[in-house]
Chains A and B, each alone.
Chain A
């Protein structure tokens, strides 16, 4: 099955630490500068996080992502590690992977990027203030601030990209699940396939239906296919053409198609729009279509009650 979410190919050469540092114009001297102040800043991170958690307490929407006090404490512990690692500024593959993992977790729990960025922005501002506290020289403080900003941009980009990638992945999984539910081709009898369609039919869905039906015909070697459209709300020229094409395609595989569930309203619409359905078989009810299919397969339905009675006579 094809993926429904278009993805931009991610160039492999922009995945490694050196390439990413180059892209964000961060050099080793800048990383050393951050690192050189880590020992002074790290012990004060807990105070910054106290402010952060008191800010979070004012936002019940944000707090709702943490189901227990233990979960909150775990996240705080992880956050302490996050900022320590940031100040240690050792940008290797492991560091990048850690940031990507964070984005992926945020996507899984559904934490909006807006909240993440709000939190980062708050801690970042406090870190900059801490930097100014520990460095008295104004220009050095300003240089440290610039280096931290660049590194934070890289961090945020990694986390947001991983967030988007994970969301795409989850959406694709959901699309596949919805697709499987929207094309439930079932072999209801030996050599007879049934597909009831509910909802709207567009070009993408008709393509999915065609693929699902043709694959089922190939596997089951079915000779009869019933496409029930009683649940299709609107049949216009485009939808009719999709349905006709599906019928033609099944015919090419040696399987006779019948479109059932044609209501009087749909029938009138087809005529008013001047749609030529060609030699496609149609019936008003699924029962009629099934009855025709049985007949074509040389099968007859007999009432067990009746034959039982006649047996008694």
Chain B
């Protein structure tokens, strides 16, 4: 089991009032799975995504990632885990605007401490995988939205993490380009990568082999993407009851 989450909660205090964003969430993800996490805004899916990405730690419960108990880790250890185990893909791409595509892709390897030559070599290979090696010396503002997201995917792949974590990866793209990115995800899935994708788009979730639906900080459905995506499948009802 790559991800094993046990009874996780996450509480925030906003303006003196306690918000319980996650209220006891448990699930597991196997190596090679492609899972969508769906839910309305405010359902807790962003909080879950931050916890899964080790950007945030749960208030209680355990989170095991690739054999590491990350729920108890300190800041520096979390940085190390993020660098080693997780490849992030963001809705807004989050590329450094002043650096070239190549330099952006190299970044995780910089923080891993690799030498410049090896970084460059591996970054080029990663850009090759997303068919962008011909644009590697361009800055983000010289690239189209789809190209930017592909650079971001190359950056997520370059350090060979055990988990790819995508947050609304098609949210800022037109449907044709979005389709291109989804096909790229399908290829990555077939190549054996583990993908967790957070989205509010049922159409996207429906194309994932598995989907988990969150509502009010709890899992209300977990099953094949087609069924869970629209929130009324038999599995959803089974979990609810």
Chains A and B belong together in one complex:
no
* Chain A positions near chain B (C-beta within 8 angstroms): none
* Chain B positions near chain A (C-beta within 8 angstroms): none
